[in-house]
Amino acid sequence: MQKIDIKKYEIEIYDIKSKIDNFRPFSSSQLKNLKDWFKIWFTAQSNAIEWNSFTNEEVKILVEDWITVWWKTIKEVKETENLANLTDVIWDFFEKDFILTEEFIFDLHKNLLNGIENENLWKYRNIQVFISGSEDKLPSSKDVNNLMSDFIKYCNQEVDNTLKKISKIHYDFVKIHPFVDWNWRIARLLMNLYLIKYGFLPIIFPVVTRLDYITSLGKNKTEQDFYRYFLWQTYENMSDYLRFFED
């Protein structure tokens, strides 16, 4: 990952945001185009990070035409459908207030697992889990309830540095790993929900940066390491959005 000057990137991101804000309020057609584009690209790239083989084009055909290719597994199809549907949920809070609850988090988890498995729903994990390929030691299952209670309180607090707060929400959720599986996808959904809540637009972590992404959350990496990755990708995404509006 390229070296990130945190203060410089923060300033540039807010500068791009102010330019995008000049185009508000968005027209219904602009908002629809944003939602449709984000649904396809976020679903494809987010799932690809977890080794789902659907391409952007295949996600588009599945979501818009309900057609899939024969070599995809039922699990991959359901993963794609479920995540695509949840991108609609985060847009519900566009230019609206939002208070995070435990029920909302359980709902995200349940809807991601719809048609895939019925175990471990509506509860945090009660076993020790590990991140595949990582030496990171995750919290004991006995601590998850208290950690998630503190996490939800933090999410609902106002802080001075909004970008850092949004990055920390993703970072903390992955580090707590409250569920047996699907934690990374939920972390990316929550991150985007809060970007929308605070007047930004949702972002996509492209699968080509997967190594940088995973590494920034690995053993011996700090919250600041992930923040640098988050700023890099937020800047890239916001720059793309600005071109969309300027064209």
d(CA 111, CA 38): 19
Both tokens of 103, joined, read: 């029920």
- Would you state the pLDDT for residue 132? 67
What are the pLDDT tens digits along the chain (247 aa)? Answer: 667 899 999 999 999 999 999 999 999 999 999 999 999 999 999 999 998 889 989 999 988 887 787 778 889 999 999 999 999 999 988 877 899 999 999 999 999 999 898 888 889 999 888 776 566 789 999 999 999 999 999 999 999 999 999 999 999 999 999 999 999 999 999 999 999 999 999 999 999 999 999 999 987 889 999 999 999 999 999 999 998 888 6
pLDDT at residue 117 in the model: 87
Give the model's pLDDT for residue 245.
86
For position 130, what pLDDT does the model report?
77
Burial of 93 (0-12, 13-18, 19+ CB in 10 A): middle
- 3-state class (DSSP) for residue 118: coil
Per-residue model confidence (pLDDT) at position 8? 96
Structure tokens at 32: 């629809």
Q: What is the pLDDT of residue 49?
A: 95
| pLDDT tens digit sequence for 49-83 | 998 889 989 999 988 887 787 778 889 999 999 99
Summarize pLDDT for 118-132 with one digit per residue, the tens: 888 889 999 888 776
Residues in the chain, total: 247
- pTM score above 0.75: yes
- The alpha-carbon radius of gyration of the chain (Å, integer) is 18
CATH architecture of 6-246: Orthogonal Bundle (1.10)
* DSSP percent split of the chain into helix, strand, coil, nearest 5: 65, 0, 35
Token pair 């930004």 is at which residue?
200
Q: Using CA atoms, how far apart are residues 81 and 114, in angstroms rounded to an integer?
A: 9
Structural domain boundaries of the chain? 6-246
139 secondary structure, DSSP code: P
Instruction: Please give the Cα distance from 227 to 14 (Å, whole number).
Output: 15
